[in-house]
Homo-oligomer: A and B are copies of this chain.
């Protein structure tokens, strides 16, 4: 059954007003006629109400209500060469981390009347380039990205068509290289120092999904261990996507290759959860025989048995603030801090 036929069978809607145009849609022209003003004034009443006389505005709002007028975004975008849509590119949609970031983005954008398109890059640079090309056709007002390469590409467009972008999670190199995030390196460093202070002598680094951020955490972790006089030689790195089960696998690998390992830094909480389950399965006491630290503070970290030490990351705020920074650019506002470090926190719990 087609769309048309389906709706014919339920003709119970309020009899919609037919617009004057051939399409039958109610347009700004119909509203103008109803309110006794020009279309231009209707447009102003919607975009810049302060420039319209109170009385006119009232009549316009009534007309809009009466006719059921809905603005046509496509026409607005075409006429103004500027859309109210922001393109957001995240590495993965199946990772809770990025989802919370999207919530932050959505909350800010909704508050200023913007929409957003979401692209998933799968941690793949080429995919990201493709997506940007696709999105450019939608004339997005700006981009929120999670890698640095594409940032450069967008900025290098001719000035007349430059599209602002903000990079999330990582910090940029300068105030002009707009970014909102925290230092992945320092976060890794903090975990190393914590394990060393607790007295663990043989910490391992476990990671999957080897994107640049993981590598920075690793770098900081190694440096932290070395500063504490510990060896940074135990590592298991796998390129596959992160899963809980992979945490269990990584732990088995470590136990097999390095029986003297006494603690693990899992580069995210999914892996940490899998590692914990594996310890439980093998009857290894956590943290007595094996300490476990994670990353991100996902919902289960605080209430696992034992609760999991992890790095609390400002995911929601990264989304919210990067959206705000982007919109401020769009409005041509001055941005004092173009490199916004939101920091992180180490939540020390029972597992270490």
Determine if A309 is an interface residue (Cβ-Cβ < 8 Å): no
Determine if A329 is an interface residue (Cβ-Cβ < 8 Å): yes
Name the B residues within 8 Å of A72 (CB-CB). Answer: 78, 137, 139
Across the interface, A161 reaches (CB within 8 A) one of B16, B115, B338, namely B16
Interface size counted on chain A using CB atoms at 8 A = 83
Determine if A58 is an interface residue (Cβ-Cβ < 8 Å): no
Determine if A210 is an interface residue (Cβ-Cβ < 8 Å): no
Q: Is the CB of A244 within 8 A of B176?
A: no
Q: Is the CB of A1 within 8 A of B334?
A: yes
Name the B residues within 8 Å of A6 (CB-CB). Answer: 155, 162, 164, 176, 178, 329
Question: Which residue among A11, A72, A277, A303 has the maximum number of chain B CB atoms within 10 Å of its CB?
Answer: A303
Using A70-B136, A93-B106 as known contacts, say yes or no to A158 and B1 having CB atoms under 8 A apart.
Answer: no
Interface locus among A96-104, A184-192, A201-209? A96-104
Name the B residues within 8 Å of A78 (CB-CB). Answer: 72, 74-75, 78
Q: Is the CB of B305 within 8 A of A277?
A: yes
Q: Is the CB of A155 within 8 A of B10?
A: yes
Across the interface, A157 reaches (CB within 8 A) one of B7, B137, B332, namely B7
Across the interface, A117 reaches (CB within 8 A) one of B117, B152, B303, namely B117
Interchain nearest-CB distance for A288 vs B (Å): 16
Q: Is the CB of A330 within 8 A of B160?
A: no
* Interface hits, A127-152 → B, CB 8 Å: 133-134, 136-139, 152
C-beta contact mask, A1-37 vs B, less than 8 Å → 1, else 0? Answer: 1111011111111011000000111000000000000
Determine if A256 is an interface residue (Cβ-Cβ < 8 Å): no
Name the B residues within 8 Å of A100 (CB-CB). Answer: 94
Name the B residues within 8 Å of A157 (CB-CB). Answer: 7, 13, 16
Name the B residues within 8 Å of A231 (CB-CB). Answer: none
Q: Is the CB of B244 within 8 A of A273?
A: no
Name the B residues within 8 Å of A2 (CB-CB). Answer: 329, 332-334
A244 to B302, CA, bound (A): 9
Q: Is the CB of B4 within 8 A of A159?
A: yes
Determine if A285 is an interface residue (Cβ-Cβ < 8 Å): no
Interchain nearest-CB distance for A119 vs B (Å): 8
Name the B residues within 8 Å of A83 (CB-CB). Answer: 74
Interchain nearest-CB distance for A293 vs B (Å): 18
Determine if A335 is an interface residue (Cβ-Cβ < 8 Å): yes
- Which residue of the partner chain B has the closest CB to A277? B305
Determine if A274 is an interface residue (Cβ-Cβ < 8 Å): yes
Q: Is the CB of B139 within 8 A of A74?
A: yes
What are the 7 closest A-B residue pairs judged by CB atoms, nearest first?
A: A7-B162, A74-B77, A280-B305, A13-B156, A74-B78, A244-B300, A245-B303
Could you tell me which A residues sit within 8 Å of B by CB distance? Answer: 1-4, 6-13, 15-16, 23-25, 70-75, 77-78, 81, 83, 93-94, 96, 99-100, 102-103, 106, 115-118, 120, 133-134, 136-139, 152, 155-162, 164, 175-176, 178, 243-245, 248, 270, 273-274, 277-278, 280-281, 299-300, 302-305, 329-330, 332-335, 338
Q: Please name 16 further chain A to chain B contacts, defined as beta carbons within 8 Å, in addition to the given A3-B332, A248-B303, sorted by A numbering.
A: A1-B334, A1-B335, A2-B334, A3-B164, A4-B162, A6-B164, A6-B176, A10-B152, A10-B155, A16-B157, A16-B158, A24-B160, A245-B302, A274-B300, A274-B303, A300-B300
